[in-house]
Amino acid sequence: MGVVTILPDLGTQIFIPVCAVVGIVFSLVQWYYVSQVKLSPSRDSTHNNSAAAKNGYSDYLIEEEEGVNDHNVVIKCAEIQNAISEGATSFLFTEYKYVGIFMVLFAVLIFVFLGSVEGFSTEPQACTYDKTKICKPALATAIFSTISFLLGAVTSVVSGFLGMKIATYANARTTLEARKGVGKAFITAFRSGAVMGFLLAANGLLVLFIAINVFKLYYGEDWGGLFESITGYGLGGSSMALFGRVGGGIYTKAADVGADLVGKVERNIPEDDPRNPAVIADNVGDNVGDIAGMGSDLFGSYAESSCAALVVASISSFGNNHELTPMLYPLIVSSVGILVCLITTLFATDFFEIKAVKEIEPALKKQLIISTVLMTFGIAVVTWLAVPSTFTIFNFGTQKVVQNWKLFLCVAVGLWAGLIIGFVTEYYTSNAYSPVQDVADSCRTGAATNVIFGLALGYKSVIIPIFAIAVSIFVSFTFAAMYGIAVAALGMLSTIATGLAIDAYGPISDNAGGIAEMAGMSHRIRERTDALDAAGNTTAAIGKGFAIGSAALVSLALFGAFVSRAGVTSVDVLTPKVFIGLIVGAMLPYWFSAMTMKSVGSAALKMVEEVRRQFNTIPGLMEGTAKPDYATCVKISTDASIKEMIPPGALVMLTPLIVGILFGVETLSGVLAGSLVSGVQIAISASNTGGAWDNAKKYIEAGASEHARTLGPKGSDPHKAAVIGDTIGDPLKDTSGPSLNILIKLMAVESLVFAPFFATHGGLLFKL
């Protein structure tokens, strides 16, 4: 056929890496801006002049009012920031040490299993999908899958670590900027979020692009084998994300629950009070769980959706005719995404200035809308340039003819479904709308009604996102089979840089509030950081919504690729082999959630005992004359999370292997479908319930409306009930919920990587 695309292959080979480099440069520029906020107490007159020149004299007046010249505050902020940064770094190093051991062992496992498919022979084989052609041996796939697994794992770990470094660098700077007003603090927090978003999106793209080009030197014409071995990249990314999410989630929530229960409920001291021994551990937790975990998680989704699309494309007309540009369409979409997000970010930092608290949330929502609208045009253009007008897509053994405008609709439908999920999440978790206000109102009658209302809200918030996912699955499958679903997932993730920026913004402003409280800054500054933080809670929930929605689509696409690769012609629910898989798969998210919830509970128990012990045995702690022992609490969290992240991790990593080897590919396809269907529901409801409880508590504390003031102030009975709800919601929204989307994706991508092995040697029990 040889349909020529408008964009030549050389253009593609230049365009993708250039976009990635632009993304990296942009994030460095943003980082430079953040670094201009000084953490050393030097006052020079030039600074004030420049501020006066920019905004009249308003800045200058506020500074004088707030007593910026108080050197002690700056020094204190720097000290606290240092403590948080050290805690986070040491935890991540400990975690990565254990994860590194696992990584090496799993890499060996991949090599042995995939190498044994053809008995480690180095002879070329007949191709899987086209027996007339000769392809590279299974051993090559084993070697290259192992390499790409390690590449994905390292990239994932690095993105998480860099994100954490940037967040701990920016948190105190945000606090100091809050003295000059909300707008300044917002920009600092948002810029540092953008640093992480762009670094991650650009790194993920660049490493994948280089890997494909390097592997191609060996594979030559055998594109099926080439892209099959690239799937290891997604597996590496997600397996690291699993440990980062679960370990970080247990760490952050053990500290948070421990600090809240003893501090706020028993001792009646405010949140983030420096007298509370668990307060440093709590702030470290925000960085290792929400930032490092989230970064690895979205990187994993991104890598997997690219891999799923590439695998399906490699056995379609793009791969069979060796058309490079349409083959790399998923990477081109991501490259455009980086450029679109770059323009979008400028809207928040440069084109419009935020002057009041009520402008924060709309500004973050605008980011989502602007990036989605611009991206729709971007996708239309690249689909027209990079894809031939008609082509065929592999669809369970047959080739389906597809037009390029249908492909555009697949990506667009995923993109807009992501936006809908984001907004529904926002509606259910932001305290500007009735759902959260109803939950807050139910606190009048105590914690029990709060819990009942919160759970109901979470279950109800599942309805629209599921319809959005269902519609996008139906549309994209009808138009372009499994490839359609993979690119719909990519569409949802194409604005990942903006999504991550508004997501990382949350924990950074949360930390900034903590630092303000610990450094003993004035009440007005704490109000500003609280406003930033409440908006951050909502954006974090939106980020989780995106992660879950994209995980559902990615998982389905990987599932399709797995079914094709394993040679299953159809998955029939009525066969007992498949049905037992289905029902067991649906149970797995519950088992997984039980493990993570219990881990948080037991770690929090240890933390509560330690905090109580310190309050009871250190003389002068409540009066503020003696310093608490922060290090012990940090150690409790670290030890608990390292120990407790192993069982849930093993459950997810071993299930596909055990099922595939003992029961075979049909039962495994049942397990994947079951876990996908039930995992999405629990994940959405858990993260929305938790987010709603958290913001109901913030709503009562802020007392911004007449209704809220009747429930408050801090320390009232309704407020105590709200704190209990918030504490229950913590493990739901930050440990179980977000980890579930990794469970869904990881089992699917792992099954795909091991598919050749399961297809030849699997199903031992049924062979007896």
What's the per-residue H, E or C state across 604-630?
HHHHHHHHHHHHHHCCCCCCCCCCCCH
Mean pLDDT of 22-50: 75
- Burial class of residue 654, CB neighbours in 10 A (0-12, 13-18, 19+): exposed
Residue 58, pLDDT > 60, answer no
Q: pLDDT tier at 59 (50, 70, 90 boundaries)? A: very low
Q: Which residue has the higher pLDDT, 656 or 560?
A: 656
Provide CB contacts within 8 A for 243, sequence distance 6+.
Answer: 95, 98, 99, 102, 645, 649
- What DSSP state is assigned to residue 568? -
| Per-residue pLDDT at 54 | 44
Q: What does R_g of the chain's alpha carbons equal in angstroms? A: 26
Mean pLDDT of 653-669: 93
Mean pLDDT of 590-611: 92
Six-digit token string for 47: 């600074």
Beta partners for residue 57, in sequence order: 55
Residue 95 and residue 729: Cα distance in Å, rounded?
25
Alpha helices in 36-66 (DSSP H): 45-55, 58-66
Asked whether residue 638 is domain-assigned, the answer is yes
| Per-residue pLDDT at 44 | 46
Mean pLDDT of the chain: 87
Domain region containing 716: 14-37+72-618+627-766
| Per-residue pLDDT at 48 | 45
Q: Which residue has the higher pLDDT, 597 or 127?
A: 597
Residue % of the chain over a pLDDT of 70: 95
Residue 196 and residue 30: Cα distance in Å, rounded?
10
| Per-residue pLDDT at 69 | 54
Asked whether residue 124 is domain-assigned, the answer is yes
Q: What angle do CA 508, 511, 516 make, to 5 degrees?
A: 125
Yes or no: say if 193 and 502 are a contact pair by the CB < 8 Å rule: yes
Beta strands (DSSP E) in 127-225 are: 134-135
Chain segment 201-243, per-residue pLDDT in tens = 999 999 999 999 999 898 888 888 888 889 999 999 999 989 9
Mean pLDDT of 690-709: 88
Six-digit token string for 670: 């049942």
Asked whether residue 48 is domain-assigned, the answer is no
| Per-residue pLDDT at 316 | 82
Alpha helices in 494-575 (DSSP H): 496-518, 523-566
| Per-residue pLDDT at 763 | 82
Domain count, the chain: 1
Residue 170 and residue 187: Cα distance in Å, rounded?
11
Residue % of the chain over a pLDDT of 90: 45
Helix (H) or strand (E) holding 403: strand 398-403
- Determine the 3-state secondary structure of 406 from DSSP: helix
DSSP 304-362: HHHHHHHHHHHTSHHHHTT-HHHHTHHHHHHHHHHHHHHHHHHIIIIIS---SGGGHHH
| Per-residue pLDDT at 55 | 43
DSSP 75-141: HHHHHHHHHHHHHHHHHHHHHHHHHHHHHHHHHHHHHHHHHGGGTT--S-EE-SS-TTSEE--HHHH
| Per-residue pLDDT at 524 | 86
Residue 9 and residue 388: Cα distance in Å, rounded?
13
| Per-residue pLDDT at 49 | 42
Beta partners for residue 8, in sequence order: none
Residue 653 and residue 367: Cα distance in Å, rounded?
36
Yes or no: say if 495 and 371 are a contact pair by the CB < 8 Å rule: yes
Yes or no: say if 424 and 461 are a contact pair by the CB < 8 Å rule: yes
Residue 236: closest CA among 327, 137, 104: 104
Asked whether residue 6 is domain-assigned, the answer is no
Asked whether residue 3 is domain-assigned, the answer is no
| Per-residue pLDDT at 746 | 92
Chain segment 64-97, per-residue pLDDT in tens = 445 555 678 888 898 899 999 999 999 999 999 9
Six-digit token string for 638: 């670290």
Q: Which residue has the higher pLDDT, 59 or 231?
A: 231
Report the Cα–Cα distance between both ends of the chain, in Å, rounded: 47
- What DSSP state is assigned to residue 4? P
CB atoms under 10 Å from CB of 214, counted, come to 12
Provide CB contacts within 8 A for 614, sequence distance 6+.
Answer: 277, 621, 628, 629, 632
Asked whether residue 8 is domain-assigned, the answer is no
Q: pLDDT tier at 51 (50, 70, 90 boundaries)? A: very low
- What DSSP state is assigned to residue 723? H
- Determine the 3-state secondary structure of 174 from DSSP: helix
| Per-residue pLDDT at 68 | 52
Asked whether residue 7 is domain-assigned, the answer is no
Q: What angle do CA 393, 399, 404 make, to 5 degrees?
A: 35
| Per-residue pLDDT at 201 | 92
Asked whether residue 680 is domain-assigned, the answer is yes
CB atoms under 10 Å from CB of 683, counted, come to 30
Compute the half-sphere exposure of residue 499: CA atoms within 13 Å on the CB side of its CA.
35
Q: Are strands 125-126 and 134-135 parallel, antiparallel or unpaired?
A: antiparallel
Peptide bond before residue 713 is cis, with ω within 30 degrees of 0:
yes
CB atoms under 10 Å from CB of 87, counted, come to 27
Q: Indicate the pTM of the whole model.
A: 0.88
